[in-house]
Amino acid sequence: MPARSRLALRRPGMVAAAALVACAAVPAMASAACATSTTSTPFRAWGDTASYTLLTNGGFETGTSGWTLGGASVVSGNEPWKVRAAGDSRSLRIPAGKTVVSPALCVDITKPTWRFFSKRVSGTWGGITYAVRYRDAAGATVQTTLGHFEGTSSWAPTAVLPLSTSLALWNSSQSMQVQLVFTTSAGGGDFQIDDVYVDPYVRG
Ligand SMILES: [Ca+2]
């Protein structure tokens, strides 16, 4: 069932309201809702049965096109559960105090959350501050910090992280192009990250 159909079934009131708003006015930053994309359930083993879409090159297996690496590099060693594919063997190593920016992705209210895997690979402390970057209605680049977590020295999935709930999106006809920003603690350890997934479905 397409994502739009699910949304209509789960939020009939919201869709009706959205249709009215779409006829009246749409903010300059918004455009049509995002296209549907291939999904899987990579976090099922952790009790999260939501469907997710892999970010472009989010497994770091076939290059990093679209990513701004800022000193990071692809290294051997995958997250151990290999949720994307059994043959995966690479991840992205981010030195301490560096910032990595993802390719742009389309976000609408059906993409409320995201998750990825991380591991601290040096030092004794440090975390990842995660943010979202986009252009506002005036064309200025805006970056909003969404949160921070302290890493561990073994691979682990992140918590379910907010995404569209942090943006000015309130009806199903709106979408934005955003980039995810990862910054490691200055003076802390280096990190590896892998398998960056976005959840394209609204959950009730
Ligand atoms: Ca990988």
CA 157 to ligand 1 centroid distance, Å? 13
> What's the pTM value of the predicted model, to 2 decimals?
0.81
Position 34 scores a pLDDT of: 80
Position 108 scores a pLDDT of: 81
Q: Can you tell me the distance from the alpha carbon of 48 to that of 112, in angstroms, rounded to the nearest whole number?
A: 14
CA 82 to ligand 1 centroid distance, Å? 7
Asked if residue 18 is part of any domain, the answer here is yes
Q: For the domain that residue 118 is a member of, what is the CATH number?
A: 2.60.120.260
Asked if residue 77 is part of any domain, the answer here is yes
CA 94 to ligand 1 centroid distance, Å? 14
CA proximity to 34, closest of 60, 7, 14, 11: 7
CA 129 to ligand 1 centroid distance, Å? 21
> Going by DSSP bridges, is the β-strand pair 53-54/191-199 parallel, antiparallel, or unpaired?
antiparallel
CA 196 to ligand 1 centroid distance, Å? 9
Asked if residue 204 is part of any domain, the answer here is no
Range of the domain at 48: 3-199
Asked if residue 11 is part of any domain, the answer here is yes
- For the chain, how many helices (H) and strands (E)? 2, 12
In the block, residue with structure tokens 């079934």: 9
CA 189 to ligand 1 centroid distance, Å? 20
Q: What is the dihedral of CA 171, 173, 179, 185, to 10 degrees?
A: 10
Position 170 scores a pLDDT of: 72
CA 92 to ligand 1 centroid distance, Å? 8
**Strand positions, DSSP E, the chain:** 53-54, 73-76, 90-94, 99-101, 105-107, 113-120, 127-135, 141-150, 156-157, 161-162, 176-184, 191-199
Position 203 scores a pLDDT of: 38
CA 88 to ligand 1 centroid distance, Å? 5
pLDDT by 10s per residue, the chain, length 204 = 444 444 444 444 444 444 443 333 334 445 567 887 889 999 999 999 999 999 999 999 999 999 999 999 999 999 999 999 999 999 999 999 999 999 999 888 777 789 999 999 999 999 999 999 998 889 999 999 999 999 999 999 999 998 866 677 777 778 888 999 999 999 999 999 999 999 875 433
CA 177 to ligand 1 centroid distance, Å? 24
CA 127 to ligand 1 centroid distance, Å? 20
Position 110 scores a pLDDT of: 74
Q: Can you tell me the distance from the alpha carbon of 193 to that of 173, in angstroms, rounded to the nearest whole number?
A: 32
CA 85 to ligand 1 centroid distance, Å? 8
CA 97 to ligand 1 centroid distance, Å? 22
Domain count of the fold of the chain: 1
CA 58 to ligand 1 centroid distance, Å? 8
CA 57 to ligand 1 centroid distance, Å? 9
CA 120 to ligand 1 centroid distance, Å? 16
